[in-house]
A = this chain, B = another copy of it.
Amino acid sequence: MQSCLELIKKVDVVPYPHETGYTEFRQSVYSLISHDGFFQLGYMLLPVVNALEAYPQFFEISALNNTIRFHPSLDTIEAREQALEIIGNTWRSATLFETLYGWRNEKYTIFSQDRKPYFHLERAMCPLFGVVMYGVHINGYMKLPNGEYRLWVPRRAADKPTYPGMLDNTVAGGLGYPYGPLETCFKECYEEAGLRKEYVSKKLSSCGVVSYLYQVKPGDYFSEAGLIQPEVEYVYDLEMDPDVIPHPVDHESEDFKLMSIPEIEERLLLGEFKGNCAAIIVDFMIRHSIITPEEEQDFIEITNRLHRFLPFPLRTL
């Protein structure tokens, strides 16, 4: 059994500048720098940087400064995407990185300092370059007349490539290009829970973002298991009616179960939820006065860690 803070630290993994381990982190990872040298886009690990040594026409590597920079000649979005496509196709054919087994044919957008798309990148490639990934997470809930909450919780299919069999948020999905957060909500609500846009648009409420710096294997900066994953999840509450039962359409999950807060708390602390979904539920419980400063000793640190300010240009409209 773990504490709520321990749960959050499994998602917001990388040390902060004032914490033990930050110096080791900074000395071990490479900053991915824009072609003009003006901003950083992500944190990369040595195995990936080493693999990019084969492409001096695309990337300039400085072991002295721990930086890997887009070649100055890659000064258009088209040039950058062409370079990344060549690299991605080669790595995928060569099965160089396990993370590429999950190739999706879905693009994520990476933003520049001047708030424009800097390049689009295959979703499975993003963790290799350590760039920010965006998604939506939706808590489908009911508030009973006595004030108690119930949440609709699906279990991920046993054959899903990532986190099979774990508990999940009611609906969640990545922000694939060219969809915005709300469009992604409508799309995923139908695919994952059979909820139609007409219903969802009346019941959905935007509630902020949860952001964090994730690693599958904490503190490992030298193997693929330690890839740095900066993530921003747009958070939504969906207040549902008793007669609406979510059901999987795309078979990404097994059946949904309507859970009480005590049941969710128990399963959270037992580690049955996928990590970032646990964080999203904790955020829900904080916003809805279920976790309070009178009872949770780590209330402040939990809230702070759920909203990490990532040191990269962030998505705009």
Chain A positions near chain B (C-beta within 8 angstroms): 16-18, 40, 115, 180-182, 205-209, 211, 232, 234, 286-289, 292-295, 297-301, 303-311, 314-317
| Shortest CB distance A94–B (Å) | 34
Chain B residues within 8 Å of A301, by CB: 309, 314
Partner of A286, one of B180, B208, B299: B208
Greatest chain B CB density within 10 A among A180, A182, A300 is at A300
Q: Are A300 and B232 in contact (CB under 8 A)?
A: yes
On whether A209 and B300 interact (CB within 8 A), knowing A16-B309, A307-B307, the answer reads yes
On whether A317 and B303 interact (CB within 8 A), knowing A206-B289, A289-B206, the answer reads no
A40 CA to B309 CA in the complex, in Å? 21
On whether A293 and B181 interact (CB within 8 A), knowing A298-B316, A300-B314, the answer reads yes
Q: Are B287 and A207 in contact (CB under 8 A)?
A: yes
Q: Are A303 and B208 in contact (CB under 8 A)?
A: yes
Q: Are B292 and A211 in contact (CB under 8 A)?
A: no
Q: Are B208 and A294 in contact (CB under 8 A)?
A: no
| Shortest CB distance A115–B (Å) | 7
| Shortest CB distance A274–B (Å) | 22
A192 CA to B295 CA in the complex, in Å? 26
CB-CB nearest in chain B for A22: B17
A286 CA to B298 CA in the complex, in Å? 23
Chain B residues within 8 Å of A315, by CB: 300
Q: Are A293 and B115 in contact (CB under 8 A)?
A: no
Q: Are B317 and A309 in contact (CB under 8 A)?
A: no
Q: Are B205 and A289 in contact (CB under 8 A)?
A: yes
| Shortest CB distance A144–B (Å) | 16
List 30 A-B pairs, Cβ < 8 Å: A16-B309, A17-B17, A17-B311, A115-B297, A181-B293, A181-B294, A182-B292, A182-B294, A206-B286, A206-B289, A206-B292, A206-B294, A208-B286, A208-B287, A209-B293, A209-B299, A209-B304, A211-B303, A211-B304, A234-B293, A293-B317, A295-B317, A298-B316, A301-B309, A301-B314, A303-B307, A304-B307, A306-B307, A307-B307, A308-B309
Chain B residues within 8 Å of A298, by CB: 316
CB-CB nearest in chain B for A314: B300
Chain B residues within 8 Å of A309, by CB: 16, 301, 304-305, 308
Q: Are A297 and B316 in contact (CB under 8 A)?
A: yes
